[in-house]
Homo-oligomer: A and B are copies of this chain.
Amino acid sequence: MVICEVLRIGHRPERDKRITTHVALTARAFGATRISFHRVDSRIVDTVSDVGKKFGGDFEIKALSNPKNFVKKWEGTIVHLTMFGISIDAELTNIKNSEGPLLFIVGAEKVPPWVFEFSDYNIAIGNQPHSEVAALSIALSKISDKSYNQTFEGGQLQVIPSDERRNMVETKEES
């Protein structure tokens, strides 16, 4: 399995609260192990931690004092998702075969130039404006064999897939 993390650049607490929450939940559901962002927002931490408690797994959230340093020191491969990049399909094999853990960077609005500079790949999920949530989900679904079919241990709730209704059960704890 590919080990990957996500870095959210440029989060603005009020404006981006819900989009960043969706980025974080998408990162978790599609198999990333951790999301980092600058000046962590406690409401996002609460929401994402609550999902982890209910549905399991050990997805991490990390607050960074200096995202640029974090990127510079990353020992692995850095993939910046941007509508200005080159097609993911052109580089997918290279990315999958690249060394070390993958760091996916997703920005809010305009990212600083160093993000392009320090990234090994500047990758587009199409060159139209859409959503960093969409871009991340497509990228992670292509990188990981499990894609959105991840399993998470230790949660309290489990969805029973249904064509008719919402159906969740409490998971039994072994004692």
Q: Is A22 a contact of B25 with CB atoms below 8 Å?
A: no
On chain B, the residues within 8 Å of A147 by CB distance are 126
Bound-state Cα–Cα, A141 to B127, Å: 15
Q: Which of B25, B85, B135 is in CB contact (< 8 Å) with A161?
A: B85
Bound-state Cα–Cα, A69 to B51, Å: 34
On chain B, the residues within 8 Å of A25 by CB distance are 128-131
Interface residues of A, count at CB 8 A: 54
State the copy count for this chain.
Answer: 2
On chain B, the residues within 8 Å of A162 by CB distance are 84-86, 122
Q: Interface digits, A115-153 against B, CB 8 Å rule (1 contact, 0 not)? A: 010000110111111110111111001000001111010
List the 5 shortest-distance A-B pairs measured between CB atoms, nearest first.
Answer: A126-B148, A134-B137, A22-B131, A127-B159, A29-B130
Asked, given contacts A128-B148, A161-B127, whether A166 binds B84 with beta carbons under 8 Å apart, the answer is yes
Q: Is B19 a contact of A163 with CB atoms below 8 Å?
A: no
Is there a chain B Cβ closer than 8 Å to A73's Cβ?
A: no
Q: Which of B19, B26, B82, B163 is in CB contact (< 8 Å) with A86?
A: B163
Q: Is B85 a contact of A133 with CB atoms below 8 Å?
A: no
Q: Is A29 a contact of B128 with CB atoms below 8 Å?
A: yes
